[in-house]
């Protein structure tokens, strides 16, 4: 079948249907999530941490993320693949944003891009939308601004909630097709979701959002100390530990390989 499109995404909001998004960074996990019916996959700049081993999202570049994005596109056939624009690849100017987004679309086959920020990146959002590139916004705890926030903490409490609401409306007005709300109080996410005609995608933003996103290593239990908003659906770290120890033990004992796994 065909890929999920931005039209499917807006139709889901009109019908009041909730939907899931997960991150993906390689072809084989993308295939698993695609076959499970996940409609939208995000090649997040969280790759900085979960793929490349950095302690923030700041170090990764477009060059780092393009091969991962291309792999996710090749591994999937139905999901819409959204590429995160990394730190420093769009803030300078609308032209810079357009050049970066075009690389993700031309070199990796991405179907949309995501960038962080509200009114401060509106010229960028408008330039991308004018160029025919679907744009996903991202408000609240925007990890590329961790050095301004002074850590990974809840955003949008009190007065700053009104600022976030204004940013969300501005993103919608500029043509964003969806807005991620990260680590904000549930009542604020509820109000933003009701105020927008485009879907909100929550991560640590409570149950009112139109969609929910998690980093796949978080939901599968690979991340050592996940945030409060993470639900662990599997204990992959423990399962992998047991499996690789079983392999190691059988190699040492000589129990592997047997004739079953041997050519003669
Ligand atoms: O990079 C990422 O994984 C993200 C999601 C958590 C929204 O931006
Ligand atoms: Na991100």
Rounded CA separation 220/233 (Å): 6
How many separate domains does the chain show?
Answer: 2
Length of the chain, in residues: 264
Same domain, yes or no: 91 and 105:
yes
Task: For 225-241, give one letter per residue: b (16+ CB within 10 A) or e.
Answer: ebeebbeeeeebeeeee
Among protein residues, the one whose CA lies closest to atom 4 of ligand 1: 44
Mean pLDDT of 53-57: 98
Q: Which residues are annotated as a binding site?
A: 45-46, 84, 114, 116
Same domain, yes or no: 220 and 246:
no
Kindly state the tokens that stand for 228. Answer: 């409060």
Rounded CA separation 103/61 (Å): 12
Tell whether 1 is covered by a domain. Answer: no
Tell whether 128 is covered by a domain. Answer: yes
List all residues whose CB is within 6 A of at least one atom of ligand 1.
23, 42, 44-46, 84, 180, 203, 213, 215
Instruction: Read off the CATH number of the domain in which 100 is found.
Output: 3.20.20.60
CA 248 to ligand 2 center in whole angstroms: 36
Tell whether 202 is covered by a domain. Answer: yes
Same domain, yes or no: 227 and 245:
no
Kindly state the tokens that stand for 153. Answer: 């903490």
CA 44 to ligand 2 center in whole angstroms: 5
User: Given this model, what pLDDT does residue 14 score?
Assistant: 95
Q: Are 201 and 189 in contact (CB under 8 A)?
A: no
Per-residue DSSP letter, 117: B
Same domain, yes or no: 179 and 53:
yes
Rounded CA separation 181/202 (Å): 5
Same domain, yes or no: 114 and 30:
yes
Please determine, for residue 1, whether its predicted confidence score (pLDDT) is greater than 80. Answer: no
Q: Are 205 and 182 in contact (CB under 8 A)?
A: yes
Taking only the tens place, the pLDDT of each residue in 156-209 is 999 999 999 999 999 999 999 999 999 999 999 999 999 999 999 999 999 999
Does 126 participate in catalysis according to the annotation? Answer: no
| Structure-token match 């993470």, residue found | 230
Same domain, yes or no: 46 and 175:
yes
- Catalytic residue among 126, 172, 182, 260, which? 182
Per-residue DSSP letter, 192: H
Same domain, yes or no: 118 and 214:
yes
Q: Are 115 and 83 in contact (CB under 8 A)?
A: no
Taking only the tens place, the pLDDT of each residue in 5-27 is 999 999 999 999 999 999 999 99
User: Given this model, what pLDDT does residue 149 score?
Assistant: 97
Which ligand has the minimum distance to the alpha carbon of residue 182? 1
Same domain, yes or no: 113 and 46:
yes
Please determine, for residue 66, whether its predicted confidence score (pLDDT) is greater than 80. Answer: yes
Residues 6+ apart with CB under 8 A from 192: 164, 165, 168, 179, 181, 200
Same domain, yes or no: 259 and 211:
no
Same domain, yes or no: 139 and 127:
yes
The ligand 1 atom at the shortest distance from the C-alpha of residue 57 is 1
Same domain, yes or no: 126 and 186:
yes
Tell me the residue range of the domain where 12 lies: 6-233
User: Given this model, what pLDDT does residue 108 score?
Assistant: 98
Tell whether 24 is covered by a domain. Answer: yes
CA 212 to chain centre: 10
Same domain, yes or no: 226 and 246:
no
228 pLDDT tier (thresholds 50, 70, 90): very high
- For residue 111, the surrounding DSSP H or E stretch is none
User: Given this model, what pLDDT does residue 133 score?
Assistant: 98
150 pLDDT tier (thresholds 50, 70, 90): very high
């Amino acid at each position: 079948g065909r890929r999920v499109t931005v039209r499917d995404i807006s139709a889901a909001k009109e019908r009041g249907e909730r939907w899931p998004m997960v991150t993906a960074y390689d072809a084989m996990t993308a295939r698993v999530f695609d076959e499970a019916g996940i409609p939208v996959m995000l090649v997040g700049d969280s790759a900085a941490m979960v793929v490349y081993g950095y302690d923030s999202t700041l170090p990764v570049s477009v060059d780092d993320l393009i091969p991962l994005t291309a792999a996710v596109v090749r591994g999937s056939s139905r999901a819409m693949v959204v590429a995160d624009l990394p730190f420093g690849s769009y803030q300078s100017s609308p032209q810079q944003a357009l050049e970066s987004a075009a690389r993700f679309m031309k070199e990796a086959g991405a179907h949309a891009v995501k960038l962080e920020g509200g009114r401060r990146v509106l010229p960028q959002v408008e330039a991308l939308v004018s160029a025919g590139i679907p744009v996903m916004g991202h408000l609240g705890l925007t990890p590329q601004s961790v050095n301004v926030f002074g850590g990974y903490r809840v955003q949008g409490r009190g007065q700053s909630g009104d600022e976030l609401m204004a940013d969300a409306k501005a993103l919608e007005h500029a043509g964003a097709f969806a807005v991620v709300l990260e680590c904000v109080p549930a009542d604020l996410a509820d109000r933003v979701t009701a105020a927008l005609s485009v879907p909100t995608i929550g991560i640590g933003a409570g149950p009112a959002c139109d969609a929910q996103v998690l980093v796949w290593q978080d939901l599968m239990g690979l991340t050592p100390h996940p945030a409060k908003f993470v639900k662990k659906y599997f204990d992959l770290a423990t399962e992998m530990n047991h499996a690789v120890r079983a392999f190691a033990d059988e190699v040492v004992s000589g129990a592997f390989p047997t004739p079953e796994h041997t050519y003669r």
